[in-house]
Structure 1
Amino acid sequence: MSDESVREITMTVPDSRPGALGPRQSVALGSAEALRLLAGVSVGRIVFTRRALPTVRPVNHVMDGGAIVIRTHEGGALTLHARDAGATGVVVAYEADSIDPDTHLGWSVVVTGYASLVTDAEELARYRSMLHPWVQQTMDYAVRIRPGLVTGIRLTVPDGTV
């Protein structure tokens, strides 16, 4: 079969996948709704700078009093950055979403803020009991992200269906 005939077939066969519903509408979320959605999932991606370049890591998290908390380990790049930054913290972004792979409907939230090490022993113990790492590695530290900017979108079909 020639390339031209393949192109012809591809162009004439209708897309019958469940996600082929046409273009999505992106609806901005308020920060309260975005944080509520973020609290409803346990996995996200932390974005921070490493050697002057953006670095992304998948992590699990809990929400605590409006802050995002993740566990880290000794020698981890984020642990070292947060320690070096001291009480003011280091600028990070945190993203989580729930988007259906077939329909492409759902939501995405991005939080930008300051991450700092949790140094209070009681708080650290509480976070250890609340948040269990899913990698086989000792995670003796916790990092708290205090949101500064919270943005989010909900992906819907044009009639508003989620």
Structure 2
Amino acid sequence: MDVNGSVLEHLSRDECMRLMGSVPVGRIVYTRQALPAVELVNFTLDDGDIIIRTDAGGKLAAATRGAVVAFEADSLDVTGHAGWSVTVVGHATAVTDREDIRRLEQLPLTPWAPGKRDHFVRISSVIVNGRRIEAGQLARGSDARPI
């Protein structure tokens, strides 16, 4: 037990995917010019895969074709010192099948970024890790500090 009574829980794959499906925004980590790059993107889940809609000619689309990437989503309660984080590592592929594209266009995935976003990237998960921290019964106003 921590000083403030917080509990850290490691999450099952099913719980990780359920939580990811509850938020609209995550971070994709990929390689750009041999260095790590992170971008905030909106996404949706499709049969356990992460789907991102982007510009076909953009850096993200080019860098993720057939690449191994990481994807992270979370939800935090800063005041309550609680929240969860899920990280997925997997292969990113461009969706090229016309029927699949038509089906993905019907998903609730409206790009937030301006411009034409008609390219879909699918991230198939290989490794899924998640953690949730729930605040204990820390008395408000006490001098106790988290470690």
Scaled by the length of structure 2, what TM-score is found? 0.84
The more displaced of 39-48 and 124-133 is: 124-133
Deviation at 1:50, TM superposition (A): 0.4
State whether structure 2 residue 44 is matched by structure 1 residue 62.
yes
State whether structure 2 residue 6 is matched by structure 1 residue 24.
yes
Deviation at 1:25, TM superposition (A): 2.8
Q: Deviations over 1:2-61 (max 9, x none)?
A: xxxxxxxxxxxxxxxxxxx93633211111110111111111011100011111111111
Closer, same or farther: CA 28–135 of 1 in aligned 2, 3 Å? same
Structure-1 residue corresponding to 2:92: 115
State whether structure 2 residue 111 is matched by structure 1 residue 133.
yes
Q: Which of the residues 44, 61, 73 maps onto 2:26?
A: 44
Q: Secondary structure at the match of 1:92?
A: strand
Asked whether the 8 Å contact 2:27–2:41 carries over to 1, the reply is: yes
Opposite residue 154 of structure 1, the aligned amino acid is R
Q: Secondary structure at the match of 1:68?
A: strand
* Identical-pair percentage: 45
Structure-2 residue corresponding to 1:71: 53
Residue correspondences, number: 134
Structure richer in strand, relative to its length: 2
CA distance in structure 1 between the aligned counterparts of 2:81 and 2:35, rounded to whole angstroms: 30
Q: Tell me which of the two structures has the higher relative contact order, counting C-alpha pairs closer than 8 angstroms and 6 or more residues apart.
A: 2
Structure-1 residue corresponding to 2:83: 106
State whether structure 2 residue 124 is matched by structure 1 residue 142.
no
Scaled by the length of structure 1, what TM-score is found? 0.77
Closer, same or farther: CA 23–56 of 1 in aligned 2, 3 Å? farther
Asked whether the 8 Å contact 2:26–2:74 carries over to 1, the reply is: yes
Is the radius of gyration larger for structure 1 or structure 2?
1
- Which sections of structure 1, spanning at least 5 residues, go unmatched? 1-20, 84-88
Structure richer in helix, relative to its length: 1
Asked whether the 8 Å contact 2:30–2:64 carries over to 1, the reply is: no
Q: Secondary structure at the match of 1:147?
A: strand
- Which sections of structure 2, spanning at least 5 residues, go unmatched? 138-147
Q: What is the alpha-carbon root mean square deviation over aligned residues?
A: 1.7
Q: Secondary structure at the match of 2:106?
A: helix
Structure-2 residue corresponding to 1:15: none
Q: Which of the residues 140, 144, 153 maps onto 2:131?
A: 153
